[in-house]
């Protein structure tokens, strides 16, 4: 019997989606990231395919496409959650500052570790390998922090989204340095960024004004198709394409802010808001499916034996220690003493994998062990898991203690006035 037949693939895909849904429910109860369960499922399938002599399938092209689409959906999903209000300005700027400084500091320390402990590693290549390891995973963080209080949840959504976008921009800025003929330096990078923002705003206004007039009931996947097209065309033009997705999400989520004055008369708010509501739903559903198959296929492709390499473990542990050391200092400076569980919510995930596979051939180092990537992803995810479980128990304990304190009642008697009869 052919293992990878059409019906077997349909059965496999269906079972994976069902299991992923169950993993999400289990994750909410145990605080174990669903991503770890999906990777474990992928590793199990890897051994199963090897047992059936069907383990020679090249999954990388599928992994790359899923990673790109997943990245777009996750950033769009996060952008649709961001409400740009005056009172949110300080938290947004604070989260952006922590994300940027944390990204740069973590990449710098990780690059030094890789440069000093991996033979043949140049400093330029070290920075390229270190950047993916320094980017927070919104794909893991956003679904995992839904149970936190409002301020902490918003901080993690802002921080992880900014980390994704700035990390990707930094990675492609560094890859541009490999080809001096195409490298425009800081000026070229700034010009590229400004051009991307202008195109993003024009495209966002145009999409909203056009789509609010479309009467067809099947326009949402058309809208997603337009966004995917803009992202791909932006990449071909060497623009920071993820900003196009972010700005569109911000514009449609904050239409009253962007459509002011004379522009407001062109906006049919009820129709546009209906598009926003449906887009929010379909984006979350699509992100769930894409994220599911990305991490399962990642589990199918990794070499789990590399985790037992002593050198891999040593380098990975140093990188993980540097991540939390830098994060502790930043959170104490910007937030203060209340930094739990935020300190330990710093997992690496989808973008780390995606950018690792995007390192140009001329910068790749044969002696670099991909197990470092897996070790850091699993290590940071497990640390987040234990922190979330501890925080949940701490909150439950505090709530029980508060509920155990009975509020008593006392009889009150009006005092008698002097000189009155009793």
> How far is Cα 306 from Cα 313, in angstroms, rounded to an integer?
9
1 pLDDT band, cuts 50/70/90, is very low
pLDDT at site 333: 92
Q: Report the C-alpha dihedral over residues 224, 230, 231, 237, rounded to 10 degrees.
A: 170
Both structure tokens of 171: 């990675």
Terminal Cα-to-Cα distance of the chain (whole angstroms): 101
> Per residue in 141-185, pLDDT tens?
877 787 777 788 888 888 988 898 888 888 888 887 776 655 556
Q: Average pLDDT in the 382-399 region?
A: 79
Give the C-alpha distances (Å, rounded to integers) separating 309 from 315, 318, 371, 375, 376: 10, 15, 8, 10, 14
Lowest-pLDDT range, 83-92, 125-134, 194-203? 83-92
> Per residue in 6-45, pLDDT tens?
888 888 889 999 999 998 888 878 777 788 888 889 888 8
| Helix runs in 177-303, H state only | 185-211, 220-236, 241-253, 255-258, 269-301
344 pLDDT band, cuts 50/70/90, is very high
Q: Which fold has domain 6-359+368-397?
A: Na+/H+ antiporter like fold (1.20.1530)
Instruction: Please identify which residue in the block is written with the tokens 């090897």.
Output: 50
Contact 75, 351 (CB under 8 A): no
Backbone φ, ψ for residue 336 (5° rounding): 115, -145
pLDDT at site 71: 77
Both structure tokens of 33: 């990231």
Mean pLDDT, all residues of the chain: 83
> How far is Cα 78 from Cα 212, in angstroms, rounded to an integer?
22
Q: Report the C-alpha dihedral over residues 120, 134, 128, 191, rounded to 10 degrees.
A: -160
Indicate whether 102 pLDDT > 90.
yes
């Amino acid at each position: 019997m052919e293992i990878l037949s059409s019906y077997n693939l349909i059965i496999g895909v269906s079972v994976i989606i069902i299991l992923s849904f169950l993993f999400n429910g289990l994750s909410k109860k145990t605080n174990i990231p669903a991503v770890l369960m999906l990777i474990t499922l992928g590793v199990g399938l890897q051994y199963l395919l090897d047992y059936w002599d069907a383990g020679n399938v090249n999954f990388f092209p599928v992994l790359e496409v899923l990673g790109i689409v997943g990245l777009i959906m996750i950033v769009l999903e996060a952008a649709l959650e961001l409400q740009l209000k005056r009172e949110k300005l300080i938290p947004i700027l604070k989260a952006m500052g922590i994300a940027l400084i944390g990204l740069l500091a973590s990449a710098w320390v990780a690059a030094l570790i890789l440069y000093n402990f991996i033979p043949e590693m140049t400093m330029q290549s070290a920075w390229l390998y270190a950047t993916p390891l320094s980017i927070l995973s919104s794909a893991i963080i956003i679904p995992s922090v839904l149970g936190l209080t409002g301020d902490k949840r918003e901080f993690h959504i802002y921080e992880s989204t900014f980390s994704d976008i700035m990390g990707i921009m930094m990675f492609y800025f560094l890859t541009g340095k490999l080809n001096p003929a195409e490298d425009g330096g800081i000026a070229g990078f700034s010009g590229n960024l400004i051009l991307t923002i202008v195109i993003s705003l024009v495209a966002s206004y145009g999409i909203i004004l056009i789509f609010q007039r479309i009467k067809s009931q099947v326009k949402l996947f058309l809208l997603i198709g337009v966004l995917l097209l803009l992202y791909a065309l932006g990449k071909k033009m060497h623009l920071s394409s993820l900003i196009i997705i972010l700005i569109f999400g911000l514009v449609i989520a904050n239409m009253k802010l962007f459509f002011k004055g004379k522009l407001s008369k062109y906006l049919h708010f009820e129709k546009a808001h209906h598009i926003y509501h449906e887009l929010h739903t379909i984006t979350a559903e699509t992100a769930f499916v894409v994220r599911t198959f990305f991490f399962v296929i990642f589990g199918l492709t990794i070499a789990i034996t590399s985790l037992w390499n002593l050198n891999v473990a040593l380098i990975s542990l140093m990188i993980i220690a540097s991540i939390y050391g830098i994060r502790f200092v930043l959170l104490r400076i910007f937030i203060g003493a209340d930094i739990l569980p935020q300190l330990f919510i710093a997992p690496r995930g989808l973008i780390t994998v995606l950018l690792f596979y995007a390192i140009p051939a001329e910068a790749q180092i044969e002696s670099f062990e991909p197990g470092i990537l897996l070790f850091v992803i699993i290590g940071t995810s497990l640390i987040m898991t234990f922190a979330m479980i501890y925080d949940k128990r701490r909150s439950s304990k505090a709530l029980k203690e508060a509920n155990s304190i009975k509020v008593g009642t006392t009889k009150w008697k009006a005092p008698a006035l002097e000189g009155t009869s009793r």
